[in-house]
Amino acid sequence: MGKAAAHGTLPAMTRVLVVEDDAAIGRLIRRSLSDAGNAVALAADGATGLALALSEQPDVVLLDLGLPDLDGRQVLRMLRAVSGVPVIVITAQDDDRTVVDALDAGADDYLVKPFGGEQLAARIRAVLRRTQPATAAAGTRVGELEIDPAARRVTLAGAPIELSRKEFDLLWLLASRAGEVVTKRELLAEVWGLPLGGGDRTVDVHVSWLRRKLGETAAAPRYLETVRGVGLRLVAPSGDA
């Protein structure tokens, strides 16, 4: 945290779990968010963090990667197995490999130390917007593909498709703009919270996984149409309703 951590405004009484082994940094984050009216719980290790994530049911988790008992990415994978809570990784490591690994493990965003309270609050707001769509959001149908954003359910020709959190977010973004080309930069910003670009491999890998579950390949696409040098769009296969 920066020395002058400005307070940002979050949705009323946001519940934040901070998993951070550096006591000084943990106190700074808690003070910054608590002074703005939020409920903040602290954990100094991964095991405690996992327990609190289940018992406290936070709205968002701030997770350090360098924990004393478990690797932060291991904690993230374990958390993802039992909870869909949004997770922002906070760490001093800013190399591309670490960023990609954390996002692929299930992180919703990535914040490099040191950072100020205003930037932290802005990242939390953005993650909550992306991961908590309005319950009234209507579903959509593209060909035989039906997507229900409220239930986070997808069916193809009536058969359910099991998608990971990021696969669903990727598909829903494309479905909400069906027929329109969405650039990789936009996908990274909206799905992975990387507005400055980078991480093309992450997009490519998730698109490949999504294609497989939709019964297609890059060489023989049905729903996911690549526009070379521009981006990707979701379309109904020829002959589908």
> What is residue 4's predicted lDDT score, i.e. its pLDDT?
33
Start and end residues for every CATH 3.40.50.2300 domain found in the chain: 15-131
Give mean pLDDT, residues 201-217: 91
**Phi, psi dihedral angles at 182 (to 5 degrees):** -110, 125
Residue located via tokens 């020709």: 157
How many angstroms separate the CA atoms of 145 and 129, rounded? 25
Report the CATH architecture of 140-234. Answer: Orthogonal Bundle (1.10)
Class (C level, CATH) for 15-131: alpha beta
Gap between the Cα atoms of 210 and 9, Å rounded: 36
- Spatial contact of 15 and 56, defined as CB atoms under 8 Å apart: yes
- Asked if 155 and 146 count as a contact pair (C-beta separation under 8 A), the reply is yes
Portion of the chain with pLDDT greater than 90, in percent:
40
Better pLDDT: 103 or 78:
78
Residue 196 has pLDDT above 70, yes or no: no
Is the dihedral angle over the CA atoms 147, 127, 135, 138 positive or is it negative?
negative
Angle between helices 23-34 and 117-131 (to 10 degrees): 70
Helices 46-56 & 72-82 angle (0-180, nearest 10): 20
Closest CA to 66 of 57, 76, 78: 76
Is 152 within 8 Å of 164 (Cβ atoms)? no
113 vs 49: which has the higher pLDDT: 49
Instruction: Determine the average pLDDT of the residues in 77-92.
Output: 88
Q: Can you tell me whether residue 178 is helix, strand or coil?
A: coil
| Least confident residue range of 78-87, 130-139, 172-181 | 130-139
Tokens representing 142 are: 């593209």
Does the pTM surpass 0.75? The reply is no
- Are the CB atoms for 63 and 91 separated by under 8 Å? no
Q: Delimit the CATH 1.10.10.10 region(s) of the chain.
A: 140-234
- Which of 36-40, 88-92, 198-202, 209-213 ranks highest by mean pLDDT? 209-213
